[in-house]
Chain A
Amino acid sequence: METAIDVRSLRKIYGATIAVADVSFSVRRGEIFGILGPNGAGKTTTVECVEGLRQPDGGGITVLDLDPRRDRDKVRQLVGVQLQDSQLPERMRVGEALRLYSSFYARPADWRELMGLLGLAGKENAAFGKLSGGQRQRLSIALALVGSPRIVVLDELTTGLDPQARRDTWALIEGVRNRGTTVLLVTHFMAEAERLCDRVAVIDAGRVVALDTPAALAAGADASQRISFRPATPIDDGLLRDLPGVVSVQRTGERVMITGAGNVVNAVTSLLATHGIVAEQLRIDQASLEDAFVALVGHEHTDDITTGGTNVG
């Protein structure tokens, strides 16, 4: 498959801070590719280098076989960008912004149609300053798409959206991809990466620590299975710990929680059967991308991630 974006050994330093130490990945055409990582991991700096906003200190980037700095005129026609925290003048109206930005591109999309797709129909004359957070975010996505880009880079796509608006936006992004646009997505939201991305690069401290499909990343975690139950009669934790594949055994009150990989579910249930112990309120969960993420980047960062629900600040 053809490559849309190729990042090789990217390095970016600000003064004494190494923002990006060594990042390599390649995005295929037509793919939704996610960049996941804790705050300060270098996600935004990486995509800023892809967008041509920053000059890398090392390594190479090609975007549609072009250099984002040297061929910036062409790259800017072909890549649409939604930046984190980018606003518009308070008094500028939605329709004015879309018409203005569409005039920047050689082959603009129909901005009225985009307004409809993004749930902004009827907001043409609304001033940016009067829009809700969600409406601003959707306008920002519309502006990223107004040039009919071949690649669209979305940084914190659904931050500030309510759950329904988030699902609608995900459906929209899938629609954009289905029409042939490659999507590079920077996100905090595990559910978003799991739902949208074909592949995900997990970046931590300026390096790629994992790169795979969300399902493969989740399955690859050490403790990909989670079994919890209330034993009807007491059971010795030591017996459970000695089972093949068990990673941890924890107790919360009367409840036992076992995590492990491979055939751990079979091992636990047959042990319980051998001892004649009934497992009450038995629950078996598959690990999610979030579990894999926590395993990859360590527990100190887990405050930064959000599993869904409302939003991050």
Chain B
Amino acid sequence: MSADVTTLVGQHRSRALAGLTRAELILFLRDKATIFWGIGFPVALLIIFGAIPSFRKPVVPAAPAVSVLDSYVPILLAFTLAIIALNVAPPVLAGYREKGILRRLATTPVGPLRIVAAQLIIDVSMAAATMIVLLLVARLGFGVAFPRQPGGFVLAVLLGGIALISLGLLLAAITATSKAASAAGAILFFPMMFFAGLWLPIAAMPSVLQHISHVTPLGAVVQAMTDAWQGQWPHPLQLATLAIYAVACTAAAARWFRWE
């Protein structure tokens, strides 16, 4: 019987990841607040901004080709990444630890790592889907061009996504409860969105704020996406900033994450 069990273990593990991912998807779709803030809200903001006539004007007179709406599309993409990475994932993961779900899974053949993986698969898929919807609505609804440097854009999104997800994992690692993780995510979210240009586009910021913005994760990813939109490769400084956040947060999360 025992040899038999060994051969079945591998097979059941991959099936278990599929099952966990399906379960995480169902739970994600049942959470109306997450659907609203993570998916509905950025798309609604885009539609509202697109409908405001003054948003068709240039951000700065020096660059007449870039309208306020153009400059907001990368900001809304960053908003989507930030909501899911900082406000959706950390409370779920900290809650799984708080409720003993990770410990319970540690007693099964599947182990606790796969439910974290399943949650991240769903988060990344949902963020990617929402960003694609944003790009399409901006293009088809309001004539915002696709990024002129697609390779640089994809690179910026990937690096930014990894940096933010690893920051979210770090929040889940250092908070004891789902509530604490929510609070930490919310506290980080608003200043980070400020430096991403949600209230004041980066190009319109005083130079001191611009410099600070470029070393925050969301400011760096918005600047990198904006550069790619306008046909340039993202500046190495912003890519390096994102890479440093990704490596540092991943290392810190791995160091401090507890399964119980």
Contacts and interface: CB of A to CB of B under 8 A. Distances in A.
Interface in A227-266: none
Contact of A88 (B30, B101, B106): B101
Contact of B27 (A81, A91, A104): A91
Contact of B9 (A77, A89, A92, A103): A77
Contacts of A51: 107
Most chain A CB within 10 A, of B5, B20, B107, B109, is at B107
Most chain B CB within 10 A, of A76, A78, A88, A143, is at A76
B23 A100 contact: yes
B15 interface: yes
A215 B95 CA distance: 44
B99 A73 contact: no
Interface in A31-74: 51-53, 73-74
Contacts of A79: 107
B19 interface: yes
Nearest to A143: B104
Interface string A144-160: 00010000000000000
Contacts of B27: 89, 91-92
Contacts of A89: 27, 95-96, 99, 101
Chain A contact patch, size range? 20 to 34
A106 interface: yes
A147 B8 CA distance: 13
B114 to A, nearest CB: 9
A113 interface: no
A104 B9 contact: no
Interface in A89-109: 89, 91-92, 96, 99-101, 103-106
A83 B100 contact: yes
A143 B105 CA distance: 11
B9 A106 contact: yes
A132 interface: no
A269 interface: no
Nearest to A103: B19
Contacts of A52: 107
B12 interface: yes
A96 B23 CA distance: 8
B177 to A, nearest CB: 13
B9 A83 contact: no
A92 B8 contact: no
A87 B101 contact: yes
A105 B9 CA distance: 8
B2 interface: yes
B109 A76 contact: yes
Contacts of B23: 92, 96, 100
Contact of A104 (B12, B31, B95, B101): B12
A74 B3 CA distance: 9
A300 interface: no
A74 B15 CA distance: 17
Given A101-B108, A105-B12, A74 B103 contact: no
Contacts of A285: none
B30 A91 contact: yes
Given A53-B103, A87-B100, A77 B109 contact: yes
A78 B106 CA distance: 14
A104 B107 contact: no
A53 B107 contact: yes
A87 B107 contact: no
B246 to A, nearest CB: 28
Contacts of B96: 89
A86 interface: yes
Nearest to B110: A104
Given A51-B107, A104-B16, A74 B6 contact: yes
B109 A104 contact: yes
A266 to B, nearest CB: 53
A124 to B, nearest CB: 14
A74 B106 contact: no
Contacts of A85: 100
B108 A104 contact: yes
A79 B107 CA distance: 8
Given A73-B9, A74-B5, A105-B108, 13 more contacts: A73-B6, A74-B6, A78-B5, A83-B107, A86-B101, A87-B99, A91-B27, A100-B19, A100-B20, A103-B19, A104-B108, A106-B12, A143-B104
Interface of B: 2, 4-6, 8-9, 12, 15-16, 19-20, 23, 26-27, 30-31, 95-96, 99-101, 103-104, 106-110
14 contacts: A53-B103, A53-B107, A73-B109, A76-B109, A77-B5, A77-B109, A78-B5, A79-B107, A81-B107, A87-B101, A92-B23, A103-B16, A104-B12, A106-B9
Interface of A: 51-53, 73-74, 76-79, 81, 83, 85-89, 91-92, 96, 99-101, 103-106, 143, 147
